[in-house]
Every structure is written in structure tokens, then in C-alpha cells.
Amino acid sequence: MNKSTILISIKPEYASKILDGIKKYEYRTTKAKNANKMIIYATSPVKKVIGEAEVKNILEDTPNNIWNKTKELSGTKKESFDNYFKNRNKAVAYEIGKTIRYDKPKELSELGIDFVPQSYIYYK
């Protein structure tokens, strides 16, 4: 099975926590197939691609079960988590491995992308 890279839009606060090794799980409402790497785009006000991270595993379960499995390394508050998954019966958590923070952040255009992904897109 082919592994894939996703380009993912993340709020700057969470993007930094991922690259600093504080946040070991990135939460989403949908699961990318076979993602093994994520390129991190920090949303407004940064609006740059600031690094990349290995995807070690992708967990999929109810929001309550995902929180119980990941809360120690979530890098977020329970209230924010609950608001994000409000009225949903499925949650996805990307487990983050090694990270690389780019010395010089990149424009999306440098990657051949001319729009900001709403959540994520497959990249190459």
C-alpha cells in the first residue's frame, strides 16, 4: 500500500506546539488514507509552510475514546477538543513522530500550490 504525504492547515499555536514536540496528536474530523508525513501550513496570521512531521499512526474512534487515549500529549485543552468534535461521533488523531522546522518558512506557491487547503490535501 502506498504511503502518502498530506499538506495540512493548522492554527499557528498548534503548529508550533507540534514542531516543538509538545503536541503529539493532531486532531481531525476526517482521515487521510495511509498518510505517513504531513507538511505543516500555519494559518493566519503566519500564512506559511513552516515544517513537516512524520505520521506514526492514525487513530480513529469516538471523540471520548480518542481523548482518553491521547489527552496527555494532546497539546490542547479538553474544552477546545470538545468544541471541535461537538455533535460528531467519530474523531481522528494523527500521532506525530519526528518533526522538522524549516529555517526559512515557505510560501504555498513554492510547493506548486495556489490555494490554502481547508483541512488537508494530498501532496505529491
- For residue 63, give Cα distances in angstroms to 8, 14, 18: 20, 19, 20
pTM score: 0.93
Please tell me the CATH code under which domain 4-123 is placed. Answer: 2.30.130.30
Kindly report, residue by residue over 2-47, the tens digit of the pLDDT: 679 999 999 999 999 999 999 999 999 999 988 999 999 999 999 9
Query: Taking a C-beta distance cutoff of 8 angstroms, is the pair 96, 56 a contact?
Result: yes
